[in-house]
Amino acid sequence: MDPARLEQHSPHEWHIPPTGHMRVPAILYASEDLILGMDDKVYEQLVNVTTLPGIVKAAYAMPDAHWGYGFPIGGVAAFDAEAGGVVSAGGVGFDISCGVRALTTGLTRTDIEACKRRLADTLFTRIPAGLGSTGVLRLNTHDMDDMLKAGARWAVSRGYGEMADLERTEEHGQMRGADPEAVSSQAKQRQRDEMGTLGSGNHYLEVQVVRELYAADAATVYGLHLDDVVVSIHCGARGLGHQIGTDYLKLMAVAASDFGIHLPDRELACAPLKSTLGQDYLGAMRAGTNCALANRQILTHLTREAFAAVMPKADLRVLYDVSHNTCKEETHVIDGTPRRLFVHRKGATRAFGPGHADLPAEFAQVGQPVLIGGSMGTCSYVLAGMRTSEPQSFASACHGAGRAMSRHAATRQWNGRQVVDELAARGILIRCVSQRGIAEEAPGAYKDVSVVVDAAESAGLARKIARLEPLICIKG
């Protein structure tokens, strides 16, 4: 993207002023180098988002933004139902509630090194991964609906975890307002055998070590110390989420003209928040969010079992679990007035600052943990939400490194064996069912996550707390 097309307001804030059908400005948070690396489609898609009815304040792009379906990945926008606002399935994405759960372990790198290969093999054996992978559960109709209503709470009630896990989970493990009746039978059928699975693509389970701390206050609250071992689980609602997205994008695209909505791009299909279709989608999307929360909860249980088999002294506790493909109803102050808004975050993470009422009490002074996954074989980060992100981005931050090239392009440049060998030489063990999948997720296919995180911090979206480096990575 050519920075000359943008108005630069600070080293890490760039504006596209309203013209034509734009209702509000578009704002990008990134360094100039990151802007130069963004494809022009990000500009086009962000401008398109600003034309949707009922949008409030601005459409935002995070530092890791890249082309997506409808909204750019890394896109954030909020809509007011009382002002004719809409909900867009393309503003949430197909991988509903894809997110990251981080676990502390009570172990150090020295503990892991003695049995790293055995731990990698045990995790790979016990954590189902890959396209079409199936899990340890098969849900009947009653179980499916219960899971879609109660999320991680349902999983804990079935013995997959502890009540304490829910206190460190977004929405306390259960997204209210879920409507299983709004989820198609095809979506439910796709999910019957997929609970407790990682899936494929950029999803992973990674054993990591804390290599650097930036803020002792928050690190202590989060339970992070130098050389500690952490586990990160990145996945979402699997086939059910994808089918919900598919189902409602079709319905919204067909109904747009009936609602008098002009779509600059069919992929931005949406429906008024106060319409029956809009409410049905919200109910289905919230059910999809619960599916993802339950999935990560079950994976946490399986991870604990794998660690117990190899390292009985391990004590895996949830640091935090946060989603980055959602639409949330939240209160935000606009021009001095609190308003209930529906905040779409697609490839962006909620990042509440210190003192926010929805945070666990222990995080009140330091802010919400913001979990940023890097590319396979590179570092990841734990950030903390800042008060400044509330007025700047509806309390949102980046979610990862962001792709720098397509999966197809990555497979032309790398092969899976090459990537595995190169990472093994650096002491990083990769376990994956697909050599092609490894090539698609090669570290070089992504932006430099450290540059992305530095931009997010400089823009006031979140502050750095800890840098994590991988020891073991399980992929689909």
Taking only the tens of pLDDT, the chain with its 476 residues reads 999 999 999 999 999 999 999 999 999 999 999 999 999 999 999 999 999 999 999 999 999 999 999 999 999 999 999 999 999 999 999 999 999 999 999 999 999 999 999 999 999 999 988 777 787 789 999 999 999 999 999 999 999 999 999 999 999 999 999 999 999 999 999 999 999 999 888 899 999 999 999 999 999 999 999 999 999 999 999 999 999 999 999 999 999 999 999 999 999 999 999 999 999 999 999 999 999 999 999 999 999 999 999 999 999 999 999 999 999 999 999 999 999 999 999 999 999 999 999 999 999 999 999 999 988 889 999 999 999 999 999 999 999 988 888 888 888 888 888 888 899 899 999 998 888 888 888 888 888 999 999 999 999 999 999 999 999 999 87
CB 139 within 8 A of CB 191: yes
Angle at 105 between CA 96 and CA 128, to 5 degrees: 45
Partner residues linked to 325 by β-bridges: 346
The H-assigned helical ranges of 339-460 are 389-393, 407-413, 416-425, 435-440, 449-458
Which pLDDT belongs to residue 134? Answer: 80
Q: What is the pTM of this model?
A: 0.96
Which pLDDT belongs to residue 439? Answer: 87
CB 147 within 8 A of CB 195: yes
Q: 3-state secondary structure string, 122-161?
A: HHHHHCCCCCCCCCCCCCCHHHHHHHHHHCHHHHHHCCCC
Which pLDDT belongs to residue 128? Answer: 87
What the chain holds in terms of domains, given with CATH numbers, is 3-404+446-475 (3.90.1860.10)
The H-assigned helical ranges of 3-94 are 32-37, 40-49
CB 214 within 8 A of CB 366: no
CB 175 within 8 A of CB 148: no
Residues recognised as catalytic: 399
Q: Are strands 73-79 and 59-66 parallel, antiparallel or unpaired?
A: antiparallel
d(CA 41, CA 343): 22
